[in-house]
């Protein structure tokens, strides 16, 4: 399933841009741009998305290479964790007040 925005008829394809703001942080999606190829995409991303010291590392990904979950399957995909409270620390109340737990 293709990504929103990717339309195969354009000469310069769409790229999604991810920037790492600092060491120790993940790359975060910041937006997209057009470029003829990966080499130019990463340079355009540098010029467009890091003009104000916003990052120290950039990923570019062709928008059509991203697979997304089906929005119509939201229930099946994302509602199952509800009720599985034992995955969360707050579920375990008896240890309250005990140090280092």
Partner 1 sequence: MTSPADLSVVDPELSAEEARFADLIAADSRIEPRDWMPDAYRKTLIRQISQHAHSEIIGMQPESNWITRAPSLKRKAILMAKVQDEAGHGLYLYSAAQTLGITREEMMDQLITGRARYSSIFNYPTPTWADMGAIGWLVDGAAICNQVPLCRASYGPYGRAMVRICKEESFHQRQGFEILLELMQGTDAQRQMAQDAVNRWYWPALQMFGPPDDQSPNSAQSMAWNIKRFSNDELRQRFVGMLVPQAEVMGVTLPDPNLRFNEETGEYDMSEIDWTEFEEVLAGRGPANAERIRRRREAHEDGAWVREAAHEYARKQAERELAGAVA
Partner 2 sequence: MSGADLDPHGDVHGDVSVDRLALADELAGTAADGSTAVASEDAAEYALRLGDDALVLAQQLGMWIARAPELEEDVALGNIALDLIGHARSLLHYAGTASGRSEDDLAYWRDEPEWRNAWLFEQPNGDFAHTIARQLAASVYLFELYARLVDSADPTLAAIAAKSVKEVDYHRDHATQWVLRLAGGTEESRRRMLLAIIDVWPYVDELFDDDELVERLAAAGIAVLPSTLRPAFDAVIDEVFAEAALERPAGRTAFIASGGGRRGSHTEHLGPLLAEMQVLARAHPGASW
Q: Does 77 bind partner 1 (CB under 8 A)?
A: no
List 38, 39, 77, 95, residue binding partner 2 (CB under 8 A): 39
15 three-class SS: strand
Contacts of range 49-56, beta carbons closer than 8 Å, 24 or more positions apart: 49/17, 49/19, 50/19, 54/19, 54/21, 54/30, 55/19, 55/20, 55/21, 56/20, 56/21, 56/22, 56/23
In the complex, the smallest distance separating the C-beta of residue 10 from partner 1, rounded to whole angstroms, is 5
List 2, 4, 25, 43, residue binding partner 2 (CB under 8 A): 43
CA distance 91 to 101: 13
Identity of the residue, 33 or 60, whose beta carbon is nearer to partner 1 in the bound complex: 33
**Residues at the site binding partner 1, with contacts judged by CB under 8 A:** 4-5, 7, 9-12, 14, 30-34, 36-37, 40, 48, 51-52, 68, 71
**Residues at the site binding partner 2, with contacts judged by CB under 8 A:** 12, 33-36, 39-40, 43-44, 47-48, 51
């Amino acid at each position: 399933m293709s990504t929103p925005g990717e339309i195969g008829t354009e000469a310069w394809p769409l790229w999604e841009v991810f920037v790492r703001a600092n060491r120790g942080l993940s790359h975060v999606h910041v937006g997209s741009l057009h470029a003829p190829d990966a080499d130019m995409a990463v340079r355009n991303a540098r010029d467009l998305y890091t003009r104000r010291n916003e990052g120290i590392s950039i990923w570019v990904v062709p928008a059509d290479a991203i697979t997304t979950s089906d929005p119509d399957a939201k229930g099946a995909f994302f509602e199952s964790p509800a009720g599985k409270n034992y995955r969360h620390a707050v579920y375990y109340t008896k240890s309250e007040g005990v140090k280092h737990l």
